[in-house]
Amino acid sequence: MEVFIREAGMVWKAESKEMGKAVTLSASDLLMRLLAFILTLAAAIVIATDKQTKVVPIQISDSLPPFHLPLTAKWDQMSAILYFLVTNAIACTYGALTLVVAVVNRGKSKGLWTVMTVLDAFMVALLFSGNGAAAAVGVLGYKGNSHVNWKKVCNVFDKFCGQMAVSIGVSLIGSLAFLLLVVIPVVRLHRRTLSINN
């Protein structure tokens, strides 16, 4: 006996004799994978193009006039931002690969979907760690740290910091899309278990 369940744009079927038989590919899965791919790609591009050069006055001594030096803020100057870029590039590549696999596989292999769900959870953790690292550096850039005498730099490199903040926001939305890719199968499994037991 087959049970068809329709919920918020998703259609899936379960065989009541055995748990875990066929699961049809849902539009929400494809949409979330596409959204995660696009958002992590956009975040990686935005941070990779983040660069600003400004002429900054540097005061060496009170008795001397300040030197005006051109200084450049670029994404590759801090390891936390580099890590952020790499995590988004990895998640983007993974998103593209799983989007292709999802279209080609069309829900035929339940083992593959299980592996993809585990890897989706790994992408969530990876992206959240990259977002946290970049956000911590961003807060230091905006506020500085008076305890260790680190000056804020976002008052000078405002475009650089603004672009970095946009990239972090876009990446955060991308990580939420990957999180939904983990939550949706769990909800499906729960509902499926309830329908089979009833």
Question: Using one digit for the tens of pLDDT, what is the confidence trace for 135-194?
Answer: 999 999 888 888 888 888 888 899 999 999 999 999 999 999 999 999 988 888 888 888
Contact 29, 181 (CB under 8 A): yes
Q: Count other Cβ atoms within 10 Å, centred on residue 48.
A: 15
Confidence tier at 7 by pLDDT (50, 70, 90): very low
Distance CA 1, CA 19 (A): 12
pTM, whole model, 2 decimals? 0.79
Identity at 140, one-letter amino acid code: L
Of 75, 78, 58, which Cα lies nearest the Cα of 67? 58
* Burial class of 8 by CB neighbour count within 10 A (0 to 12, 13 to 18, 19+): exposed
Model pLDDT, residue 75: 85
Question: Using one digit for the tens of pLDDT, what is the confidence trace for 37-89?
Answer: 999 999 999 999 998 888 888 888 888 888 888 988 888 888 999 999 999 99
Q: Show the beta-strand stretches assigned E in the chain.
A: 2-7, 10-15, 51-58, 67-74
Tokens at 141, concatenated = 């850039």
Q: Count other Cβ atoms within 10 Å, centred on residue 67.
A: 10
What residues contact 61, with CB distance under 8 A and at least 6 apart?
Answer: none
β-sheet bridge partners, residue 10: 7
- End-to-end, the C-alpha distance of the chain in Å comes to 13
**Could you state, in order of their start, the residue ranges of all structural domains in the chain?**
23-188
